[in-house]
Amino acid sequence: MSNYKIHTATELWQKETCLPSIPTFSQNLDHILANGGVQLGSLTELLGLPGTGKTQLCFLLPIKICHFSLQLCASVQIPKVLSGLNAEALYIDTNTNFTPTRFKEILTASLLKCQKIEPSYLFNEEEALDRLHYINAFGIEKFCACMNRISVFLAEHPRVKLIVIDSITFPFKEGISVQKRTGLLFRQMADLQRIAMEGLIAVVLVNEMSTRLGLSGGAVVGSLGDAWAHRCNKRLLLSNPSELGGSRLALLLKSNNAPNFVAKFQITREGIRDS
């Protein structure tokens, strides 16, 4: 009995609702995520076809697959005077999606917006860039080595409050059987869930879409199978309907604390914004 504590439902509810979040710079997206953004202590999966903005939301890049995760890497630095985290991010790149020039553009625009709201807030661009840690994890060996040492890295960098893996699918595309892939992925996911909860860190996993063949034809689904879909706390599907012009749609497919809902957003020169 001394190794664990029994909580009441009230305690769990209070803990879940008081956890900070990383805003997306889109009120529509923050609203459907239900916590004012991507919540710390959780795993969020971004799904979408190329061009829908997955990487940009984590960083901020005009290239097709790079929008969602890039914005978050900038947003995690919002100062505490504006109720932000004033924290750092770790970007694990498995597919050469990261572009430093685009991240710098998004980061500067995001922090200048903060400065307009609170003129007393001053930031140094070089120091702000230093708050993003980048790891080249191309190939299954490098990726597994990175995952094995991630706890050591976080112990040395306690201000990291966001981990982005872009993409979780790419290292496992070749040279590994489905059985080995499943075993590796689920062990790594268990480690990431522990890291997220114990360190109060938001983990964002970019995933790709694939075609599943059936008796009546094919369907476009998230890669890595159905079992994988249950490992994340939230799944966000991004799409780029032609009839909306430059706007994108985000559909919350799964959430532990919010109903399924759709939000409209745009990818601008400054990053993720409302339409």
Give per-residue pLDDT as tens, 12-37.
776 777 889 999 999 999 999 988 99
Is pLDDT above 70 for 124? yes
| pLDDT tens-digit map of 174-203 | 778 878 888 888 899 899 999 999 999 999
In DSSP terms, 92 is beta-bridged to: 135, 165
- SS3 for 177-214 is CHHHHHHHHHHHHHHHHHHHHHHCCEEEEECCEEEEEE
- Rounded to an integer, the average pLDDT of 204-231 is 64
Whole-angstrom distance, CA of residue 165 vs CA of residue 181:
16
Could you tell me the pLDDT band of residue 210, with boundaries at 50, 70 and 90? Answer: low
How many Cβ atoms are within 10 Å of 97's Cβ, its own excluded?
Answer: 24
Whole-angstrom distance, CA of residue 258 vs CA of residue 137:
33
DSSP three-state, residue 108: helix
| 152 φ/ψ angles, rounded to the nearest 5 degrees | -65, -45
Helix 68-75 / helix 100-117 crossing angle, nearest 10 deg: 50
**Which of 91-95, 109-113, 228-232 bottoms out in mean pLDDT, i.e. has the lowest?**
228-232
- Rounded to an integer, the average pLDDT of 78-86 is 95
Is pLDDT above 80 for 40? yes
Cβ atoms 255, 44 nearer than 8 A: no
Domains delineated in the chain: 23-274 (3.40.50.300)
| pLDDT tens-digit map of 126-182 | 999 999 999 999 989 999 999 999 999 999 999 999 999 998 988 888 778 878 888
The pTM score is 0.88
Write down the pLDDT at residue 104: 96
